[in-house]
Each structure stands twice: as structure tokens, then as C-alpha cells.
Structure 1
């Protein structure tokens, strides 16, 4: 009886469970996220001369939206000659009306608006009076013998320094004595003092002005550059905006600040006081050493490290945090390019809502067929490790977005193809960037003749570009990538400390601006950089940490937490560094005691700075003396509390010994970045090698794997073998892998297996030109494909625009699993139709598409629309001396900042060059 009752209850339980299961929502198949405005690429939008009006704003915004842009970043600059009457004064009521219209129209189009908190760069303008302007330290020296008095007044000798103020006057005696003479200076500058013996040198320190003006300022934005180190000056600067805004939100998503280019700003009037408060000693007694040209003295290096640390604190607190708090009061975010700043870049990036890096110049990739003419590129290689400073600040701070000013001077004007843009954008994605901003788009009224208004240092991402009809190809690719890269959180296992004191501890120079263009000086020579490069190549993922970040990091059950919304890190790595503050070492020890694993490549040797030097040295030495390491094979360990500290010259070996696994997929040459979104892990794989890759990959993340192709949008379940997933990635292509334990089986990915004989499309082609200029060429009949510039019509050598090729081919049988169309050489982008059905845009190498579903047995038609570069038309205009460069200030320059002249260029190949083939796969 009991047995029957138990069986009956068991059936009831099964029934209830089945009913409950039936009510659970089914697990959705893996799909691309819904594309939102923030996932699309945005663009820097130059308002030349602020010559904007509602009619033209309406037209261009509609074109931007239709092409796939998600937002614009308004930066007013200098204007075009002859349009002065249309200029609006920055922040005037008329300008504010234009801003309001822009925000309203953009929002109606599903776009958003960012705004530079100024015009041109850096921050400055008419509200910046001399007392609030960028400040520099001016030092003059005098010599006096015993009994002598100065016969001259102590006043600044440099011209145009009417607002310079004497802040310190220090006398140095023959035996190292110092004496503060400032109280002895009369109001008229006369010094009432003479030395009693020996020869003394007197150093006078003045707070002078750099007199730097806003660069590329727009009407109403002209004026001195701001003193970023002084809070009162920053407040004065921002008040102009607050007043223009009526202290109300303007619908601006984020306020933007360009890279720190405040030249020679070595000082602020409060520097002496801030230095004494923060460093604990009087800098006025060390003026002689501060301005010393000595490049070897350890004592001077320590002094200047303290000076640089003080600048860092002033810039962080008085400008960066202050500006961000102001923006938050207007319900907007801040987006800052911290590079170039004289401070700790990680903290400066981390103090804003959206850290932003930039790429400047062109990278060399091994992708076959990718054009990189040395004459058309700058001798600057963007460094992905530099970009990781911005992404690290975002990841460790739990911020969802990290952006980049992208394609600045990627090539010479008018010669940039979308194929060249793609790997450069991918390199940013691999560095952790997840929001591309084009550099850029110039607002151009419809009545301005071609090529319209253009900025002097950009890739022309605007409707006048002959490539524009195919802009959706690049834009949609970026949007697909960013839709995943903005989801979830970065999934990096390592946290690497950046030894900033080793960077600051240099006796040469004064302030130290850490620029993108100078990484070969302050970044590349360091053990930190070499370690990061080696770990990346080996397949490890990491972010960088500053001293401040470590001070507020905690140990959680699943690793080191740097912020509430940040992913945990499994290991903290301290690269070989000479200098470390005792406070930072104590924080590191505390993390280990609380359960963290810490790996020192080498132990620090000393402390930075001058104040209480021996006391702080003793403290560091005492802490280090407690490390009792034991072990063999190059790695020794010290158990402390719940965690451990390891000492390992070979960091990778230590990681392996502690079961911190690398991603072995990098052995194939593939590069990757990994993100975690709830219970799913995404891998973004990129093939920048010269070879096509078809292999099975082992992943550290376990589960079912779905492949997502960001080029085509295709999705399918990956084929598995011994826990590995098969991937096929051609040179120049990328692929996402979605890994999850619980997901439905998607339709299987259609792999290209056995290739049949190629079908060559050798029938004649008809070529018809549909748009462009200076004039539409005549129709052409082509027995063989070649550059249209080689054809007989003389108009073709000067033509930039769109040509449409049509032909047909015979398919004797349709019996393959898939067919792949390969256009081979395309100059520069193509849109393809097969049998009247649009296949899509083939805008980048390898210019291939799967077309099996469009084919039929027998006769098939093919149409290929091709757009070429602007270069040939610009060349023709310069040869004919047609004036199109009509801008104030810098006007227009070439990639080497010389006068632009395209008249001597060679004609660039254009059109469908092929050969065009179709490959069946069985």
C-alpha cells in the first residue's frame, strides 16, 4: 500500500514539474543584440565657423542617420572664407538655438549628441582672463658677492608678462646654505639684502603666463587657454556654459575634452602651497634644483618626481573631477582624452564617465592586398597597449563605455578606403575599446561646391565622399561588433600594476606630458611594457592598475575587485619596478593577506620622492623583510593570511604553476578579447595574419558554442571535436564566439569544406556610371575587367563616383552546398546583386560573399556597383588650379603638415578589377 502511495505521489511530482517547466520561458537562440544608437559608430562633427542653420542641419543629420551613424560630437572650429556673415558666435542665443535644434532632430532620428566644452582645443576662450590663463614657472637668477646689493628690481624680464607674480626668492650660499628672501622684497621689486660672505646665487620664481591661445578656435571661442590646475579658474571657465545653458540640462549626452595639449603649462599660482601640503616640504627652497638641466642626479630626479606627482593631483582634482561634477549637475556625462596630460593617465581616464583614447597614423598589417603606400601614411604606428590605458580605466572602474577618436591621419587625404579602416578599428576593439568615434565629419552646407567643407586632419566621413553610398558596410560592421563589446563586462584574469614613479623619476625636464606620440620614450623602454606585450602574445587578458586604484581595491570570494561593477581579477602582477611608495606596498600586502595572489617580477628597491626619505625607506625595507620566500624552479612563494605573494622572474611560469591558464588560441596567430555577459562568454577573434585559418580551437570558457560573423551577420552552431570548436577565419576577417552551458542548438554553422573548381566570370561586362563627377563618363563595354582609369574615355582618369557593372554567367548545375563569390581586387567598395537580389556590400578584404541561395541552374545575372576614392577628382582639380581650399587659420595641409597639392599624384586604380570568380563548396 505504501509503495502504491509513493508511486502515485511520484507521478504527481513529475506532472507538476512538467507543468512548471512548460511555463518557463524557452531559452532564446543566440542572436545579435538589438542595435541601439550607442552601439553605432559616432563621429566628431566640426562646425566650421559655426555657420549652421536648421535647413542644412536637418539635411545632413538625415544623411548621417541613413548611413548608420548613431551620434555626433559637436566641435566648433575656424570657418570658411566668404561665409563670415553666416557665422554664429559660440554660446550666443543663436548658437544655443542651433544646438537645441540639433539635439531635437538627432533624437527624432534615433541619434544622440555630444558636445565639446569649448571650441577647437584645448579649453579656453574669452572668459579666460589672464589671471585664469594657463600658467608657467618663470625663474630668473642673480649673483651677489659679500656686501653687494642688487641694483635692479626683481621683476620678470620676459616680454608680455604683465601679470607675472613673484612667488619665491631663494638665495643659495657657497656651502649649500639657503635663505628665504621673499619677505625682504619691497613693493617696487627692490631687494634689501646682501650676503655677509662668499658668492650667493639668488633664484626668483614667478607665476607667469604661457600666453597660449585656443587652437583652431571658432567664432566666439577665441582667447587664452585655461589654467587646468587651478579650481577657481576652471570654475570661471565653466560658468560661461552654465549661464548660456540657464543652468539647465541641454539634452547633451556627454561633454567632451580633446587630448591635453596645454603647452608649457608648468605651474599654477597655488603650486607652492599645494606642494607643501601634499609632499610635506617647501619646494621654494629647491627652486635651483627644480629648474636644473641636470639629467643624472638622483636627488633632482626625486624632487621632480614630487613635482610631477603634485601636478597630477592638481589636474585630477581641480580639473577632471571638477568638470565631471559640473557635467553631472547638467545631467550629462564626461568623455575625456587624458593622454598627453602631466599626470597618471589611468587615474585621469578613470575620473570621467567615458575614457577616450585616440589612434593617430597608420598600422602595418599582414593582410594580403591591403594597400599601405609609404607616401600616404605618417611614420606613426598606433600602439594597442597605449589604448589599453583608457580601456583599463573603464574596466577597473566598472564603466560600460570606452571610446576612441579613430582614423586621425590614417592616410593622406582622399585616399582612405574602408578596407584600410577595418583592421585599425579591430585593433582598437582588441585593446578593449567599444565605441568608435570617426575623426571625422565636417558640417558642410548643401550649396558649397564639391568636395564641400573639410577639416585638415581627417578621414572624410561625410556625404560628399565618393565612398559614402557604401558607408553602411563599415558602419554596420562596427555596430554589430560594438553591440556585443558594449554588453556585459570585460573578462580579464590579470591586473598589472603600472609603476608610475619609475616614469616620473627623471632628472631631465620639468612637467612630463605622457603623449600618444611619445610612447617610445615613456612606455616602450619599460619592463612593464615588455611584460604586457609578452603576456598578450601568450594569450593572457589583463588590465592596468594605478596606485590609487590598488588603494581602494578589495578581495572578494571570486578575486580582486577594483570597483563594485568591475569584473574580479584572479592575479595581481607587479612588473619589475625600482620605486614603490610604502603605502602602495602595504595595500598590496593587505590584498594578499585577504586572499589575493600577487606576483612580483622583482621586489621594489626604493621609495620615490624626497620627503622623510630615510623614514619611508625604512618602512619599505621593514615590510619587504617580512617576505620569507621558499620554493624552486625560478618561482618562490610567501604565504600570508588567506593569500600568497610570489616572486618570479618568469611571470608566465608562475601563472602556469598557479593554474592561471592562457588562451592557447593565440598560437594560431589569432588575436582575441573576451567579455562576460551573465552566464555567457563572448570571444571576439580577429585574423590579421597573412594566412587563412581553418582549425579547431580550445577555449578556456566551457559550453556550447555559437559562431557569429560580424561581417555578414550570419549565425550558427559551431562544430565541436574533443571539446574544441572549429573556426574558419580568412585573413582580414573577424568572428564572435558565444559560449554558454545552457543554450538551444542553433542551426549548424555552414562550414566551407571541399572546394570545387572555380567558375571564372569571363563574359563581357557593361559599365554604366550613375553618380559622381566632375562629369559622368560614357558607358563602356568591357571584354576584360581592368581599372576604369585605363579605359579610353579621358574623363575616367578624373572621375570619382559610382560605376555599375553588369554581366551574366552560366551555372550548368547547382549541386554544391554553398557558393562563394570572390571579386578579388575592388577599388574601393562594391554592392552586389545576383539575379536581381541584393547580396550586400563587399567593402573590405577579402571582398567575398556566400551566394548559394541567390543562384539558379542555367543563366544567372550579376550586377556590381563600385565606388572609388575622391583622390582622382581632387588631383584633377589641383591640376586645373580650381580653388577649393578656402579656410581661415591653418587652411588645408597634407599628411606631413605641408601645403596640400594633389596635382603631382598618380592616378589611383578604380572600379572592379577582379578577376571575379565563384567557388562551389561540397
Structure 2
């Protein structure tokens, strides 16, 4: 018998559980603590770990296991076995931390950073120059050209590479010199491009994992890395032990070149780059943007083909899948994410709010949608609050909702820090501290269960999106000089968050698309294409858009019509084709022009396009995502604010039966009302603060009912006085006159942990005759569990702090007991709390030099930043009013 949707909600698939990044500092781990922490994760509803091994924080040669040592492989194999024993999964970051690299990477396979060395000369003259000791590195190009109005004239450019000579010191290669260069009459510029000697190393590596970062444009370098850093792991752990190998964000600082660029550029673009390299930095008259475009386009292709795709190929060879964060790359961002089996976005900073996160999320989810990836993952809660230890379960829950609404359907916590069972918290500098050493850890299981339930539904079927927005990547390539372009950031800046949010808040869910997708537009369900301030595109893409429009679909161009092709060769011809195509579409009525990408664009959408779901009151805070699964349509909708709303959700073109599920409480709820219209279904719902629902439309469901109850208050007991406060850990037991933050009590000022509030309440027969009895407080910071007569009535991890308790009460004397956990920041602020340093200069254990460890301890463990930013402990415990409210209910009378 098929399970109901409520039964499915209460028994979600284990594969849809959230995961967590698990930091091992210096690989200083032991089997007992690994087992203990895995038990903690399993109990909290976490279904998998992603191990990332990085910098050491304590001394000890034997304790800090060297990367790839026999002890390293032994502990990793033990961990994998323990993970699988618990029905969990194990992912692994290769090469210690990030970006990919290590001690085995030779200089020739490292990531080049090229910069120009320019000299102004005036001719006619004969010019010589000794570059020795003036620059360090390999010269990869040299040209000279005449300057006019700060631009180099292309017809005057000479390649002077052959005139550069090696300079010797006692027969040893020592430097480079230029001899007897004839400079014609006029103002000339000599430009030497240098691949610097100093290149990026792996960031924050573990012991023995230091080394160069690989060239991400070179397939040989990529294959070499995977053969060195990955294949031995699989050989020792066994195929299938690692579910996914993980690539963290591409923080490739300065990486802007590759050794094969000249050959690949000429092969792909049809002309030589060598004479025109100055255009990558300065201006070559009439050619600058086209050359820059051709260069960045070539680098994009090389990165996707030679790194992203190679990683996935290698993972498949090893019996695993690839999970890749592509943000940071200069390449076609959708193709980069789409090269992974599991594209992964990221969320950092205060994203417990409703806003489309283009930089790190919507691009990743769009790639997952257009390249048909079933799972779209997200690194979640990074720097959710700054400084550390200030994040709350409520913020984490709402932040998860904002991730879901952006189209992601797998959560990876950022994260869990390895710490000894009874030791001090070892916190990652950029994370939310979601692990067993946090004060509110025992409450996380509520979020773990919630994530599991929501992801189970969001991993079903296929995403639904009828609107797509074209990414103006070609303009970004053309407009930017040589550098490690962060394509995601550039796209967000160009499209503008306020514009994208405006579209989303009117109910329009969309994907971003690229040339590849538009070239296959018939394979997708898009009905509307939006172009914003786009100047350039390939001719084939313009032709595809024309075909899309001629088949009855809507094309909107905001700001201006595209008028240029891409690249240097046949520029005039391509410009004419693109501009003519769009002018014809506009003239023939196959394209609508919006004067700007803000109000004008939004007005056209409202007039011409029906959204899937439109929110009435609260549209600035309530968002949704839509999936279609067999005979059902699933909408996840969430209020990502601390306001509450009675609102109407209009689901267009939908008149089937439906049910509404509360994934936090695991129950089905009834709408306040609903109306069937020709245009669809209008549902009236109440959203509490941070409230989320799953709406499932399925013809096989019974006709939905409405909540016809009318709630009337039937009395209140004020509980503001007479509480006893107990803190066993501090041996503190006292009666309190009022409910105020316990951080105001001197003995508890810097206490972080659990406190207990007790109070007796006497109930009469009229009290017990009420239909509903609710216990509520103004604030329970930041998580709490309520016991009534020694029985748990439930937990609070978010507002409103209200709880139905009638079933636990009896006539006469009752005891209410509230266990409250506060944030870890208060303990961190204690003036007596300092992070110790290793004394002296040298110690007897690795790494022997104390400064190596102390530098990391100051940066990663020290509470200096927290003390600078937070001057007083945060409010803790029960604060404000406390009441027991009595209600009776009546049924709303049916209208005749």
C-alpha cells in the first residue's frame, strides 16, 4: 500500500539526510574520538561526513599524523569503516585543504601568475636593457609597439621575444637582457610578460601536505595531481569507501596563464596571441576587447576541459562521484558546475533571509537543472554570524530555508570541528560551530530531521522553471584585463541583486542559462527568456534566440539590444549579423524591449507572464521552489523572517486536490481558506516567524478541508514571578524575582551552557476544561526544552516560543521545568579565558619551532576578535513575560 504524503514526511529517505564538513586539525585524531563524534552526528540526523584535513593547532609528531603516512591511511580506513557501519557516507577533500596541490607538484605544473613589465622609449634610437635582478621569473612574451593617445597601434607591433638573450654569471644562467633593439621614430612601449617565480601554495595545509597549487588549465597537471593525491587513497581504502571526492571553491589567487596558451589560443581562435598580449593589460587600438574576449574564452575552455571534466572522469574511474564548487573560476560558470556529478554552491555571511544568492547558489542550482544533476549541494552556514559562536539554531533553520528556495536540495554543514570528547572547542575560523562542543548541540537534531524531510521532497522529480535569464559572460570576458576573474561575482554585479530579487518576489522562479542551453532550447520547458544589458553574444546564440521567439516564446531585452558578436576575427560581419537579428526580432514583434532592467522589465513580466506561485502579504520575506514528481507537483515555501503573516498564496494553473505539510513539526495542517478560480488555486495560510510548508498537489488526494476553528482566550496565568534558577555545573541555585537574562547575574555573567528554570502552577477544574492550554514566553535564548510534570512537552529552537501542554497537565499542582541553553560566545568573552601559547622558541616535539604553532593558534583559536567585536555577554535564558494561556474553540458557521 502506498504511503500517504504525511507518512513519507515522517519517514524520509536516509539518503536525503544532511551532511557535514568535518575538520581534522593536523590529522590529530584518534579512534575513540572518531567513533564518539560519528555517534553524535548520527544521533543528530547527519547522514554523511566530508573530511577536510588542514593546519595543526597542537604539537606532537606522533599525534599530528603526516599526510599520506602509514598511520594516516590507517586512521582514514578506520573512519571509513565506522562511517559505513552507521549507514553514513564519507566524502573527502583531496590534497589536505584547498586549492588542489601538494608537495609532489613540481614548479612546471604549478599555477602561473603573469604580469607585464613595461618600458617607455622614444625613437629613433637603439635600445638595450638588462632585466637581471629587476624581475624574477620566466619571460613568456615580449612586444614593442608605437603609442598614440595611450593606445598601442596594432600595425606597429613587433614581437621582440627573439631578441631577449640569456645573461650568464661565470657560465651560470643568471638573468635576461635585451640588446640593440632598433626603435623607429615616435613614442614606443616595450612590454615584457613575466610568469612570476613566486606562485600560490596550498592554503592552510596539514603536516606534510604543503606545496604548489596545480595549473587548473593543464590536463597533464590535473591528471598528475589526481594520480598522486587521489589514486593511492583509493588503492588503500578500497573502491566505494569514498562516495564523493570534493573540490572546494577555486581560490586561485592570481592564476591567469597556462604554458600551452599560445598553441591552444591559435588553434581555437584562429590567430596568434603573441603580437597582441599587450591588449590583455593595456589597450591596442580597435582590438582590445576582442582580444581580451578571445583570451578569456580560451582560458574558460581549457579550465573546463582540463580540470573540471578531468576530475569527474577520474572520480568515475575510482568508483566515486565528483562534488565540485566551481565559484571562483573565470570559465563559463554553468558548464564548470555542470561538469560535476554534484554541483555545489556555498552560503556565507548573514543569509538567514530571503534573497536570491547569485554569486554562490542560484548559478550552481541553475547548472544542476540545465545539466540534469539530481543532487545540487550547498556548503551551508559559513560565517552565518561573525564573530564566531554567536549563531543560533533559529538562524541556521532560516538559512537552510533560503538555501532550499534557491534550488539546492542537499545541505552540507560548515561545519563540525574535531575536538576531544571532554576537551575545549576547536573552532574553525569561518564556520558556524555545529558540533558536540556547542552549548545547543543537543537541539540540532530538530534541524537535522527538518533538513532530511525537506530534502527528501526536494530530491524528487524535476525542477520546474519556465523563465530563464541569459548570463552576459561574453561581455565580462571582453571588459576585463588579465586577471583571475571571479565570474560569479562579476555576474552578480552586472545583473544586480535588487533586480533579481525584484523578479523573484513577484513569484517568478528562474534559471540562469548560457549559450550551450540556448543552443538546445527545445530540450527545456522555458517559455520566457530575459536578456539584461547584454551587448555581445555568439552568432549561433542569436540565431537560437530568434528560433526560440519564432516558436511562440517570449524574449525580453532590457536596457539595450545585443549588437555585437564575439572575438576578433570577422568582427564586423558578426556584429552586423547579431545586431540585424535582434533589430528584426524587435521590428517583427518577436521581442519586447524594456527601457531598463528594473521597473520597465518587471512591468512587462507582470503584463505578459503568469508566475507559478505568487505571495500576497509578505512577498518580501516568503519565497518558494517548485518541483514536479510523477503525478504530483511539490512546492516548498518558507517565511525567512522574524515577522508573522496571514497571507494568500496564488498557485496558477493548478486546481487539483492538495495537502499542506509542516516539515518541522512533522504534521499536516489545514489552510485557513482556499478558493478555486479559473486561473488557479488561492490558499490562505498563516506563517509564523521562520515557518515553512510543503504544498503537494495530487489528484489522488482527498478534497482538502479548511481550519474552521475560532480560537477564543479563556484566561491567562501570569508566570513572571516565583521561578527557581538552577545551574548545577556552577553549583548555583537561587530564586529569581523576574525573568531577565542570567548573564546579568555576576556569577553567571560569562557562563555558556544549560540552566534550569522551575515553577509550580496550580490549575482548577475550569482551567482544565479549556480546549487548549499553551505555555509561552517572550524569549528562550537560544534553545530550550520544556518539561511538564517531568515529561518532555517539546523543544524550542525558534520563535514563537509557544507550546501546547494540556496533555501533560493535571488538576492541582503542576511543575513546569525549562532547560535553556545559551550561545557559546559568553564563555569566549570571559576575561580570564585566554588561548595559551607554547613558551620559548623551540620545543621538543614537532614542529619544534613554537612560532609555527603559535601563529596558527593566534589566528584560529584566539578569542581576540570576539572580544573586540562583542563587548558584553549576549542575553541568555528566559527573558520577559511567561504565561499559561487557556483557549476554547468554536467551529466557524457555514455560510448559507
Interval containing the TM-score (normalised by the shorter chain):
0.7 to 0.9
- Seen in structure 2, the aligned counterparts of structure 1 residues 182 and 893 have a Cα distance that, compared at 3 Å, is closer
Change (3 A) 1:310 1:44: same
Which range moved further: 35-44 or 734-743? 35-44
Question: What SS does the corresponding residue of 1:800 show, helix, strand or coil?
Answer: coil
Q: Is 1:506 matched up with 2:495?
A: no
* 2:659 aligned residue: 706
The residue aligned with 1:787 is 741
Pairwise mapping of residues 535-574 of structure 1 onto structure 2 (< 5 A)? 535-551=503-519, 553-555=520-522, 560-561=523-524, 568-574=525-531
176-185 or 536-545: bigger deviation: 176-185
Segment of structure 1 superposing worse, 356-365 or 316-325: 356-365
2:880 corresponds to 1:911: no
Cα distance between partner residues in 2 of 1:677 and 1:797: 53
- Mapped partners of 1:897, 1:875: distance in 2: 7
Equivalent in the alignment of 1:441: 416
Contact between 1:137 and 1:205, CA under 8 Å: does it hold in 2? yes
Q: State the alpha-carbon separation in 2 of the partners of residues 51 and 263 from structure 1.
A: 29
Asked whether the 8 Å contact 1:409–1:457 carries over to 2, the reply is yes
Deviation of 1:102 (Å)? 1.3
Match of 2:29 in 1: 52
Unaligned ranges ≥5, structure 1: 1-23, 367-380, 562-567, 631-636, 639-644
Contact 1:29–1:744 at 8 Å: present in 2 too? no
Contact 1:829 1:868 in 2 (8 A): yes
2:558 matches 1:583: no
SS at match of 2:307: helix
> SS of the residue aligned with 1:236?
helix
| Number of aligned residue pairs | 842
Within 5 Å, give how 1:118-517 maps onto structure 2: 118-142=95-119, 151-152=128-129, 157-159=134-136, 161=137, 164=138, 166-173=139-146, 176-183=155-162, 185=164, 194-195=181-182, 197-198=184-185, 200-240=188-228, 241-246=230-235, 249-292=239-282, 299-363=287-351, 383=357, 386-411=360-385, 412-446=387-421, 449-451=423-425, 453-506=426-479, 508=481, 510-514=483-487
In structure 1, C-alpha distance between the alignment counterparts of 2:15 and 2:285, rounded to whole Å: 50
Change (3 A) 1:656 1:911: closer
User: Secondary structure, in 3 states, of the residue corresponding to 1:282?
Assistant: coil
Note if contact 2:615-2:647 (Cα within 8 Å) is conserved in structure 1: no
C-alpha separation in 1, matches of 2:861 and 2:639: 29
For residues 511 and 883 of structure 1, the distance between their equivalents in structure 2, rounded to whole angstroms, comes to 39
What CA distance in whole angstroms lies between the structure 1 residues aligned with 2:483 and 2:132?
22
The corresponding residue for 1:860 is: 814
Structure 1's 209 and 352: CA in aligned 2 closer, same or farther, altered over 3 A?
A: farther
User: Matched residue of 2:182: which SS?
Assistant: coil
Which among 789, 797, 800 is matched to residue 752 of structure 2? 800
* 1:98 matches 2:75: yes
SS of the residue corresponding to residue 768 of structure 1 reads strand
8 Å CA contact retained: 1:29, 1:746? no
TM-superposed CA distance for 1:667, in Å, is 4.5
Report the counterpart of residue 843 of structure 2 in structure 1. Answer: none
Partner of 2:172: none
Scaled by the length of structure 1, what TM-score is found?
0.84
In structure 2, the partner of 1:673 is 625
Matched, 1:684 2:643: no
C-alpha contact (below 8 Å) 1:892/1:900 kept by paired residues: no
Contact 2:563/2:575 (8 A) holds in 1: no
Q: Tell me how far apart the structure 1 counterparts of residues 42 and 109 of structure 2 sit (CA, whole Å).
A: 40
**1:5 maps to which residue?**
none
**Which TM-score applies when normalising by structure 2?**
0.87
* Residue pair 2:132, 2:177 contacting (<8 A) in 1 also: no
- Map 1:616-631 onto structure 2 (within 5 A): 616-624=574-582, 626-627=584-585, 629-630=587-588
Which residue of the other structure, out of 664, 670, 674, is the alignment partner of 1:721? 674
How many angstroms does 1:276 deviate by?
Answer: 1.6
Tell whether 2:660 aligns with 1:660.
no
Which residue matches 1:823? 777
The CA deviation string for residues 64-106 of structure 1, in whole angstroms up to 9 with x for no partner, is 2112222111111111223343111223332222222112111
Please tell me whether residue 85 in structure 1 is matched to residue 37 in structure 2.
no
Distance 1:765 1:504, change over 3 A: same
Structure 2 CA distance for partners of 1:246 and 1:751, relative to 1, 3 Å: farther
For 2:19 and 2:818, the matched residues in 1 are separated by 28
**Counterpart Cα distance in 2 of 1:675 and 1:32:** 16
Unpaired runs of 5+ residues, structure 2, are 148-152, 168-175, 677-681, 839-849, 890-896
Hey, what's the Cα distance between the residues in 2 that align with 1:896 and 1:580? 50
Distance 1:25 1:196 in 2: 85
Partner of 1:883: 836
Once residues 339 and 429 of structure 1 are traced to their aligned partners in structure 2, the CA distance between those partners, rounded to angstroms, is 19
CA deviation after TM superposition for structure 1 residue 749, in Å: 5.8
Shift of 1:893: 4.1
Q: Is the 8 A contact 2:24 2:54 kept in 1?
A: yes
2:722 aligned with 1:764: yes
Verify the 8 A CA contact 1:599 1:647 in the aligned structure 2: yes
In 1, Cα distance between equivalents of 2:626 and 2:334: 21
Distance 1:181 1:218, change over 3 A: same
Mean CA deviation greater in 759-768 or 460-469: 759-768
Of Structure 1 and Structure 2, the greater strand share is in 2
Give the whole-Å Cα distance in 2 for the aligned partners of 1:896 and 1:496.
45
- Aligned-residue offset at 1:604: 0.8
Query: What SS does the corresponding residue of 1:915 show, helix, strand or coil?
Result: strand
Residue 651 of structure 2 aligns to a residue whose secondary structure is coil
CA drift at 1:626: 4.3
Equivalent residues of 1:687, 1:734 under 8 A apart: yes
In 1, the alpha carbon distance for the partners of 2:869 and 2:195 equals 50
Structure 2: how far apart are the matches of 1:831 and 1:589?
Answer: 60
Deviation track 1:702-745 (CA, whole Å, cap 9, x = no partner) reads: 22221211221121344543223231111222222222222136
Query: Structure 1 residues 674, 817: CA separation in 2 closer, same or farther (over 3 Å shift)?
Result: farther
Provide Cα deviations, 1:141-198, integer angstroms capped at 9, x if missing partner.
4566768655446668423x3xx2x433333257742233334555665657643742
Partner of 1:11: none
2:11 match: secondary structure: coil
Equivalent-residue separation in structure 2 for 1:756 and 1:350 (angstroms)? 58
Deviations 1:269-293 (A, max 9, x none): 111112222222211111222221x
Asked if 2 retains the 8 angstrom alpha-carbon contact of 1:893 and 1:899, the reply is no
Q: Secondary structure at the match of 2:344?
A: strand
- SS of the aligned residue for 1:685 comes to strand
Which residue of 1 is the match for residue 844 of structure 2? none
In 1, distance between residues paired with 2:642 and 2:428? Answer: 34
Partner deviation per Cα, 1:734-773 (whole Å, 9 max, x = no partner): 2222222221368876867444444323462233335xxx
Establish whether residue 842 from structure 1 lines up as the match of residue 796 from structure 2: yes
